[in-house]
Each structure stands twice: as C-alpha cells, then as structure tokens.
Amino acid sequence: MISPTGGLRVYVATRPTDFRKGMDGLALLVQETMELDPFSGAAFVFRAKRADRIKVLVWDQTGIVLIHKRLCGCRL
C-alpha cells in the first residue's frame, strides 16, 4: 500500500510513453530521459498515446510499485 506523505513529489512525463514498458523500462526512462532517481520515493506518472491509461511508478522503501490504471469515459 502506498501511503503518500505531505512531501511526496510527483513528476509527470510530458510525452506519451510506450505502454509495453514495465517497471524496469520505466525506471530506466526516469534515469535517462528525466535525469531523476527512480528510487528517490517520488512518484512518476506516464500516459499512453491515446491518453486513456496511466502508469505510476514509485519506490516504497521495499520495492518498486507500478500502478496501471485504465481511465473509463475520459481522457487526459
């Protein structure tokens, strides 16, 4: 379970992301493209090309958590 604190930093990718990427691929994207540390405890948000799905990558001190959500009836 993710229990965000008041100091949680959230970074949003500005370009659509290849949604075939899993945890490792997204962590590498954070390191190489965003030049940030995926193990910092911040949340990283990615969207699909059609903007109907999002993925959130976050380190919770025990491992990487990947949340995948399909947005129903709306788009970003």
Question: What is residue 6's predicted lDDT score, i.e. its pLDDT?
Answer: 76
Question: What is residue 26's predicted lDDT score, i.e. its pLDDT?
Answer: 98
DSSP 54-71: EEEEEE-SSSEEEEEEEP
Instruction: Give the CA angle between residues 9, 15, 16 to the nearest 5°.
Output: 105
Entry pTM: 0.86
* 75: pLDDT strictly greater than 90: no
* 3: pLDDT strictly greater than 70: no
Order of strands across the sheet that contains 53-59? 10-12, 43-47, 53-59, 64-70
Question: What is residue 40's predicted lDDT score, i.e. its pLDDT?
Answer: 95
Question: What is residue 73's predicted lDDT score, i.e. its pLDDT?
Answer: 75
The residue to which tokens 């380190």 are assigned: 59
Please state, in angstroms and rounded to a whole number, the distance separating the CA atoms of residues 61 and 47. 24
Looking at per-residue confidence, does 31 or 61 come out higher? 31
